[in-house]
Structure 1
Amino acid sequence: MGQETTNRYYQRIEEKAKDLPWYVGEYIDKRKRKLSPASLLNYCHDYLIFFSWILAEGIFEGKRTDIPLEVLQRLTRQQAEDFLSFLQFQLNNSELTVNRKLSSLKSLFHYLQNIAETTDLEPYISRNVMAKVELNAIKEDQETLANRMEGKILRGEEYETFRQFVAHDYGLINKDNKKLLNFHQKNRERDTAIVSLILGSGIRLSEVVGLNVDDIDFRKYTVRVIRKGNKEQYVYFSEQAMLDLKEYLSIRVSRYSLEKSNKILFIAASMGPKGTTRRLTSRSIEKLVEKYATAFGKPALSVHKLRHSFATRYQLENNDIPKLRRQLGHSSVQTTMIYTHLTNNEMQEAVNNMDRTKDPIDETDDHK
């Protein structure tokens, strides 16, 4: 999502927030650092529907912006259930959509009860009716999960395009921002190696965080990881990941002012006393991927989606679920089977291409 689009989203969010009670506007402002602008705009739509329903039901008489906190605190569980019924049977929302809108309300009410506080250090509300309401139990099949995931992962040429973006293009588009440019120039080899390793192996975020230099086998193209259940496993990674790891390792000691005895693979930029170094945390890696993904125009791309991207590509090219299951460290083959659904479209296209590229001579021979 470009900066211009992001600004438009925030402008619409501000416009919607003006039609909501002050405490909702406060909550939305607090969530700007945590949620994407698209998600925040959806929250605003959900809250407009909810507070309009309160007026339509006669629970409060007056303007939507004037609905006080006391109204929320006095809502009964039956009234909350009535609102969900309104969504499902009058607005014809699907169970998934009802769940999403209920989740946004749960998040708001949680903030009002457990986070926000008055000048007297009291919570905005002492009773949270939304905590008493359960989400619809929906069991999605693997194909549904796959379809939802499909637009949020890298496909085809995007693998290399995104890697190149992390390695070079991010710096180019921020050449006029000295702070961003300097930070990118210092960390681009490290960040590229992280992204390339996940895209080239599918290892988990926790596994990336825990890596040491000695865990990399440069001859066998494997990395030693500690999987769930504290199980040690050697996982293969791609040649491109190896190249990016070698480039990072060639500058790692000098760039981050490390002692040669320091074996942490992915180092955080120095903070505090000179010479202080630390391992990149899970949140730090999540944030750096989010930063590049947003600038790349694919804000839904996360560390976990990079893992999904690897798995989808592997299954498409190899069609070997048992090996993919081992590579990803899944305990159940059913978890791995989702990637067979993700690659169905590509497989169908490949079959269709066979007809379009068929040699005319072969067609003549078929009629003999």
Structure 2
Amino acid sequence: MNMNTQQQNFRKLDVLIKELPWYVEEFIDKKKRKLSPGTLLNYCHDYKIFLNWVLAEGLFNGDIKEISLSLFETLTTQQVEDFLSFLKFQLNNREITINRKLSSLKSLFNYLQNIAETEKLEPYLRRNVMAKIEFNDVSENPETVANRMEGKILIGDEYENFRKFIEHGYGEKNTSNKRILNFHKMNKERDTAIVSLFLGSGLRLSELVWLNIEDIDFNKYNVRVIRKGNKEQYVYFSEQAMRDLKTYLNIRENKYMVSKENKALFVAAPMGPKGTTRRLSARGIEKLIEKYAASFGKPSLSVHKLRHSFATRYHAEINDVPKLRRQLGHSSIETTMIYTHLKNEDLKTAINKLNMPK
């Protein structure tokens, strides 16, 4: 994660923490030295969902910031199970997401019971209901994960067809809607370059969002990214991605009225009274992929599935797991091995001259 991302997450954290009770702020403050601001921000989002549920269920009368520790002493295991059911059936969270939220709560409650103490050297909580709640069993072998993933990624001709659809097809499909057509004309070079880079490199969303123009090496076909653990790495991408990037960069300054000081690679159109051009956000990229995917007829396709699509084709074409692991930035070889289980009969037109290191 680069410094800009960290600073942005710290700012968001400072805003969100003011909405939550004092003991949450104390816990987060203790964790700042060990955990990334992005992780802490996710913790706070999880706590806000839980505390808002407490209010909605009538378990506490008052403001969210006023929810007392004494309430946690009286929570029953059934009430916590009800909250987890709320996550599943009302918020449509997957089992793995529910486990993450439960893990956040377990960390907080463990701190309140076993680490924090009053002036009288007594724990904040004597009873920890979260310690009694078990995680969902979501263990899956790589083949199971691969089989589930296979129907949600681009396969065969879809790989190039999706890129062409963004470049031309989406506009042709919406010629009768001037607003949609004009918006596509404005952004088609940018959006094509974004998808082409995802499909030609396997970058993570956060890595692509924070790219600057200076990060691209146009001679070596690679891009400098800051990966998990704040590690710098140069990641290779395809010739098609390079062509689409150059097409976009040729129109970037004039179309988006970008000042020379703005080095962000992907930008959004100027908005607001001052008309300031800004870096395209992660959510903005997710929304445009969702839009194109739905219109293309593959609504389950997402930014992360584009990464999976790249990895699947790379493995089928090159069949080098260590290189694929490096390309994707995986810390564990087991994560990369998922792609060795994916099946696809039409992979002959895979990655074109990726210029991977020998």
SS in structure 2 opposite 1:187?
helix
Match of 1:142 in 2: 142
Structure 1 length-normalised TM:
0.60
8 Å CA contact 1:198, 1:310 repeated in 2: yes
The aligned amino acid for 2:294 is T
Is 1:104 matched with 2:92? Answer: no
Matched residue, 1:156: 156
Counterpart of 1:211, as a letter, is L
Structure 1 residues 77 and 321, CA gap change in structure 2 (3 angstroms): same
Show the 5 A alignment for 1:1-368: 103-105=87-89, 107=91, 136-343=136-343, 345-346=344-345
Matched position secondary structure for 1:146: helix
CA displacement at 1:201 relative to structure 2: 0.2
Q: Which amino acid aligns with 1:264?
A: A
Amino acid at match of 2:279: R
Shift of 1:262: 2.0
SS in 2 for 1:289: helix
| AA aligned opposite 1:227 | R
Gaps of 5+ in 2: 1-56, 59-75, 94-131, 349-358
Q: Give me the CA root mean square deviation.
A: 3.0
CA distance in 2, matches of 1:79, 1:331: 37
Q: Do 1:142 and 1:341's aligned partners in 2 also have CA atoms closer than 8 Å? A: yes
Q: Distance in 2 between matches of 1:313 and 1:172?
A: 28
Partner of 1:334: helix, strand, or coil? helix
- The question of whether the paired residues in 2 share the 8 Å contact of 1:196 and 1:241 is answered with yes
Q: Deviations over 1:191-232 (max 9, x none)?
A: 000000000000000000000011111111001111011111
What is the Cα deviation at residue 138 of structure 1? 3.0
TM-superposed deviation, 1:136: 3.5
- Kindly provide the amino acid, as one letter, of the partner of residue 104 in structure 1: K
Q: Is the 8 A contact 1:316 1:346 kept in 2?
A: no
Segments of 5+ residues of structure 1 without an aligned counterpart are 1-68, 71-75, 84-98, 110-131, 351-368
Amino acid at match of 1:321: V
The count of aligned residue pairs is 240
Cα deviations across residues 178-198 of structure 1 (Å, max 9, x unaligned)? 111111100000000000000
Taking structure 1 as reference, are residues 317 and 180 closer, same or farther at Cα in structure 2, changes over 3 Å only? same
**Secondary structure of 2:267's aligned partner:** coil
Question: CA separation in 1, counterparts of 2:196 and 2:79?
Answer: 51
Q: Is the 8 A contact 1:315 1:339 kept in 2?
A: yes
Partner of 2:279, secondary structure, is: coil
Taking structure 2 as the reference length, what is the TM-score of the superposition? 0.61
Query: What amino acid maps onto 2:310 in structure 1?
Result: F
Amino acid at match of 2:293: A
CA gap of 1:277–1:233, structure 2 versus 1, over 3 A, is: same
- Alpha-carbon shift at residue 269 of structure 1 (Å): 1.3
Q: Which runs of 4+ in 1 moved over 2 A?
A: 76-81, 101-109, 132-136
Matched letter for residue 257 of structure 1: M
Larger Rg: 1
Cα deviation code 1:85-122 (max 9, x no counterpart)? xxxxxxxxxxxxxx9x875335389xxxxxxxxxxxxx
Cα distance in structure 1, aligned partners of 2:158 and 2:169 = 14
User: C-alpha distance in 1, partners of 2:205/2:91?
Assistant: 26
- Secondary structure of the 2:270 match is coil
**Aligned mates of 2:79, 2:235 — CA distance in 1:** 53
Counterparts of 1:294 and 1:133 in 2: how far apart (Å)? 38
Q: Deviations over 1:53-99 (max 9, x none)?
A: xxxxxxxxxxxxxxxx99xxxxx977998x9xxxxxxxxxxxxxxx9
Distance 1:138 1:258, change over 3 A: closer
| SS of 1:226 mapped into structure 2 | strand
Looking at structure 2, the residues matched to 79 and 332 of structure 1 have their Cα atoms a distance apart, in angstroms, of 37
- Mapped to 2, the partners of 1:134 and 1:175 lie a distance apart of 53
User: Does the 8 Å CA contact 1:258/1:275 hold for their aligned counterparts?
Assistant: no
**Percentage of identical aligned residues:** 67
Aligned to 2:268, the other structure's residue is in SS state coil
CA contact (8 A) 1:211 1:264 kept: yes
Q: Give the distance between the partners of 1:280 and 1:300, measured in 2 at CA.
A: 22
**1:225 alignment partner, SS class:** strand
Distance 1:156 1:148 in 2: 17
AA in 2 matched with 1:300: S
Deviations 1:20-55 (A, max 9, x none): xxxxxxxxxxxxxxxxxxxxxxxxxxxxxxxxxxxx
2:275 & 2:86 partners in 1: Cα distance? 49
Q: Is the 8 A contact 1:286 1:302 kept in 2?
A: yes
- Partner SS, residue 211 of structure 1: coil
What is the SS of the residue equivalent to 1:219? Answer: coil
